[in-house]
Structure 1
Amino acid sequence: MRRRRAERELGQEGLAHQCGTNRTYLSGVERSERNVSIDDIARIAKGLRVSAATPSEE
Protein backbone atom coordinates (compact mmCIF):
# COMPACT_ATOMS: atom_id res chain seq x y z
CA MET A 1 0.00 0.00 0.00
CA ARG A 2 2.78 2.42 0.88
CA ARG A 3 4.53 1.79 -2.44
CA ARG A 4 1.36 2.32 -4.46
CA ARG A 5 0.58 5.47 -2.50
CA ALA A 6 4.07 6.82 -3.20
CA GLU A 7 3.75 5.97 -6.91
CA ARG A 8 0.63 8.13 -7.03
CA GLU A 9 2.41 10.88 -5.07
CA LEU A 10 -0.19 10.75 -2.31
CA GLY A 11 0.41 11.31 1.36
CA GLN A 12 -1.56 9.39 3.93
CA GLU A 13 -3.84 12.40 4.38
CA GLY A 14 -4.59 12.59 0.65
CA LEU A 15 -5.31 8.88 0.37
CA ALA A 16 -7.46 8.99 3.50
CA HIS A 17 -9.49 11.79 1.95
CA GLN A 18 -9.99 9.80 -1.26
CA CYS A 19 -10.99 6.70 0.73
CA GLY A 20 -13.34 8.51 3.08
CA THR A 21 -11.39 7.46 6.18
CA ASN A 22 -8.80 9.08 8.43
CA ARG A 23 -5.02 9.19 8.23
CA THR A 24 -4.51 7.47 11.55
CA TYR A 25 -6.46 4.43 10.38
CA LEU A 26 -4.49 4.19 7.12
CA SER A 27 -1.23 4.55 9.02
CA GLY A 28 -2.20 1.54 11.14
CA VAL A 29 -3.11 -0.43 8.03
CA GLU A 30 0.26 0.33 6.42
CA ARG A 31 2.06 -0.86 9.54
CA SER A 32 -0.12 -4.02 9.75
CA GLU A 33 -1.52 -2.92 13.09
CA ARG A 34 -5.14 -3.01 11.94
CA ASN A 35 -7.47 -5.77 10.81
CA VAL A 36 -8.97 -4.48 7.59
CA SER A 37 -12.53 -5.28 6.54
CA ILE A 38 -13.33 -6.24 2.95
CA ASP A 39 -15.22 -2.95 2.60
CA ASP A 40 -12.14 -0.99 3.66
CA ILE A 41 -9.97 -3.01 1.27
CA ALA A 42 -12.33 -2.04 -1.55
CA ARG A 43 -12.24 1.66 -0.53
CA ILE A 44 -8.44 1.70 -0.28
CA ALA A 45 -8.06 -0.08 -3.62
CA LYS A 46 -10.39 2.43 -5.25
CA GLY A 47 -8.41 5.31 -3.71
CA LEU A 48 -5.17 3.81 -5.05
CA ARG A 49 -6.78 2.98 -8.41
CA VAL A 50 -5.88 -0.71 -8.20
CA SER A 51 -7.91 -3.89 -8.20
CA ALA A 52 -8.84 -5.33 -4.82
CA ALA A 53 -9.32 -8.75 -6.42
CA THR A 54 -5.85 -9.41 -7.82
CA PRO A 55 -2.58 -9.32 -5.89
CA SER A 56 -0.06 -6.82 -7.19
CA GLU A 57 2.99 -8.09 -8.99
CA GLU A 58 6.27 -7.22 -7.32
Structure 2
Amino acid sequence: MNPELADLEELYQEVILDHSRRPRNFGELADAAVRVHGDNPACGDEIHLAVKFN
Protein backbone atom coordinates (compact mmCIF):
# COMPACT_ATOMS: atom_id res chain seq x y z
CA MET A 1 0.00 0.00 0.00
CA ASN A 2 1.15 3.53 -0.75
CA PRO A 3 2.55 5.05 2.51
CA GLU A 4 0.57 8.27 2.00
CA LEU A 5 -2.62 6.28 1.57
CA ALA A 6 -1.84 4.27 4.71
CA ASP A 7 -1.37 7.52 6.66
CA LEU A 8 -4.69 8.83 5.37
CA GLU A 9 -6.45 5.58 6.29
CA GLU A 10 -4.98 5.70 9.80
CA LEU A 11 -6.08 9.33 10.23
CA TYR A 12 -9.57 8.46 8.97
CA GLN A 13 -9.83 5.63 11.52
CA GLU A 14 -8.74 8.00 14.30
CA VAL A 15 -11.41 10.54 13.29
CA ILE A 16 -14.14 7.89 13.25
CA LEU A 17 -13.12 6.54 16.65
CA ASP A 18 -12.94 10.06 18.11
CA HIS A 19 -16.44 10.91 16.90
CA SER A 20 -17.69 7.60 18.28
CA ARG A 21 -16.21 8.31 21.70
CA ARG A 22 -17.10 12.02 21.80
CA PRO A 23 -20.13 12.78 19.60
CA ARG A 24 -20.59 16.38 18.50
CA ASN A 25 -23.82 18.27 17.92
CA PHE A 26 -25.76 15.42 19.48
CA GLY A 27 -29.27 15.96 20.77
CA GLU A 28 -32.68 17.19 19.77
CA LEU A 29 -32.96 20.37 17.70
CA ALA A 30 -36.37 21.57 18.86
CA ASP A 31 -36.93 24.27 16.22
CA ALA A 32 -35.63 22.34 13.20
CA ALA A 33 -36.99 23.38 9.81
CA VAL A 34 -36.41 19.93 8.31
CA ARG A 35 -36.17 16.45 9.84
CA VAL A 36 -35.23 13.22 8.09
CA HIS A 37 -34.63 9.69 9.28
CA GLY A 38 -32.68 6.92 7.62
CA ASP A 39 -31.76 3.40 8.57
CA ASN A 40 -29.96 0.36 7.29
CA PRO A 41 -31.84 -2.77 8.37
CA ALA A 42 -28.94 -4.98 7.28
CA CYS A 43 -26.63 -3.68 10.02
CA GLY A 44 -28.93 -1.70 12.31
CA ASP A 45 -27.37 1.70 11.60
CA GLU A 46 -29.79 4.56 12.07
CA ILE A 47 -29.53 8.32 11.54
CA HIS A 48 -31.80 11.18 12.50
CA LEU A 49 -30.96 14.52 10.93
CA ALA A 50 -32.51 17.87 11.85
CA VAL A 51 -31.62 21.12 10.08
CA LYS A 52 -32.26 24.74 11.04
CA PHE A 53 -31.68 27.58 8.56
CA ASN A 54 -30.82 31.18 9.39
State the TM-score, normalized to the length of structure 1: 0.22
| Bigger CA radius of gyration | 2
Q: Larger % of strand: which?
A: 2
Q: Larger % of helix: which?
A: 1
State the TM-score, normalized to the length of structure 2: 0.24
